[in-house]
Amino acid sequence: MMICCCMPQLRAQWDAPVSRYWTVKGHYNPAFAGGSGAIDASALYRYQWAGIQNAPQRVILSGHMPVYFLNREHGVGVTGYSLTAGRLRNNLLAAQYSYILPTRDGKLHFGLQAGILNLAFDEGSGRISEEENEGAQPIYLADGVKQQLADLGAGIAWQNHNGYAGLSLLHLNKPGFHTLNDTLDLQSDSLKTFIPRTIHLMVGYNIRLFHSLSIEPMGWVQTGNGTTRVQTTLRAVVANRYSGGVSWRSNDGISLFAGILIDGIEIGYGYDRHTHGMGKASRGSHEISLRYRFPAGQLQPKRQPQKSIRLL
């Protein structure tokens, strides 16, 4: 009885990590909106834990651009994701805004995010079940919920041409929901759970070794509900066209990735090898990313030539 009464409540991290996080870092920190000085559109697809039935699949879409009004530079953006596990699905659609303040060595950003979460399962209830028969395929299971929740976030970031650093707090309002049960439909506080607040710290720097070769060390720290996850990355870029590297994630494993830039479109692929946690029962995870960036001036209407009536 003492153990049951004193047992702490545990919740899993809702912001599942990805390997190529620098391509969608605006999804985890609204302060990065408008930071590239161009129109930036990114998409990332992650197939997690290959070889496990009903394994989670995640799609992240992010887009942002700078805007100018009141003699100031601002950033606006939109982000969203879809996470599926079997027939169940969670979705997010959020708008982002950042106030950009020029400094001596770069730009300082203050960002806000507001969106709607459409929940169809509780990510904290995820588990892997293995059949008794040897060699049977493991199955990923999750309990279902049906809720629509408001979700808020905020962040601060600094960046220049050589590096960036950002700190954000997501799920600022701790969205709460009731878990559904096949036999009970009680909306009591004892059955209510919350999405925990999550702190994200991202840093990166560009070290140019030669004219055509640069090294980009990066790091990502996620902290939420008493759990901290660290991911470090070393990325090499050749001729501003080809890229590749390796990442290490605490209590998970390593990731190898590569990418290429074709006509302004960056295409990347990553493979994760899991050595800890539930992923050990899988054949790894796969990730594909696309990013397209072009100058914001291309969307502005071009001035039409005019003739003066005095010259007619």
The answer on pLDDT for 129 being more than 50 is yes
Give Cβ neighbours of residue 244 (< 8 Å, ≥ 6 apart).
235, 236, 256, 257, 258, 259
Q: Does residue 46 lie within any of the structural domains?
A: yes
Could you tell me the two tokens for 72?
A: 């100031």
Predicted pLDDT at 100: 94
User: What CA–CA distance (Å, rounded) separates 196 from 151?
Assistant: 11
Q: Give the pLDDT band (50/70/90) at residue 1.
A: very low
Average pLDDT over residues 212-220: 95
Predicted pLDDT at 307: 60
> What share of the chain in percent tops pLDDT 70?
85
Predicted pLDDT at 14: 78
Q: Does residue 160 lie within any of the structural domains?
A: yes
Strand pairing partners for 143? none
User: What CA–CA distance (Å, rounded) separates 110 from 309?
Assistant: 49
Q: Which of 186-195, 245-254, 282-291 has the lowest mean pLDDT?
A: 186-195
Average pLDDT over residues 268-289: 93
Taking alpha carbons only, the member of 249, 252, 247, 156 closest to residue 201 is 156
Whether the Cβ atoms of residue 195 and residue 179 lie closer than 8 Å to each other = no
The answer on pLDDT for 190 being more than 50 is yes
CA angle, 115 then 116 then 119, to 5°: 140
Predicted pLDDT at 298: 59
Predicted pLDDT at 188: 53
User: What CA–CA distance (Å, rounded) separates 159 from 184?
Assistant: 51
pLDDT 10s digits, 68-118: 988 889 999 999 999 998 888 999 999 999 999 998 889 999 999 999 999
Give Cβ neighbours of residue 257 (< 8 Å, ≥ 6 apart).
19, 20, 235, 244, 245, 246, 247, 268, 269, 270, 271, 287
The tally of domains found in the chain comes to 1
The answer on pLDDT for 138 being more than 50 is yes
Q: Does residue 120 lie within any of the structural domains?
A: yes
Q: Give the pLDDT band (50/70/90) at residue 48.
A: very high
Predicted pLDDT at 10: 45
Q: Does residue 67 lie within any of the structural domains?
A: yes
Q: Does residue 229 lie within any of the structural domains?
A: no
Range of the structural domain that residue 87 is part of = 23-212+293-301
Q: Does residue 235 lie within any of the structural domains?
A: no
Q: Does residue 198 lie within any of the structural domains?
A: yes
Strand pairing partners for 271? 256, 286
Higher pLDDT, 143 or 44: 44
For the entire predicted model, the pTM comes to 0.85
Q: Does residue 181 lie within any of the structural domains?
A: yes
Whether the Cβ atoms of residue 259 and residue 268 lie closer than 8 Å to each other = yes
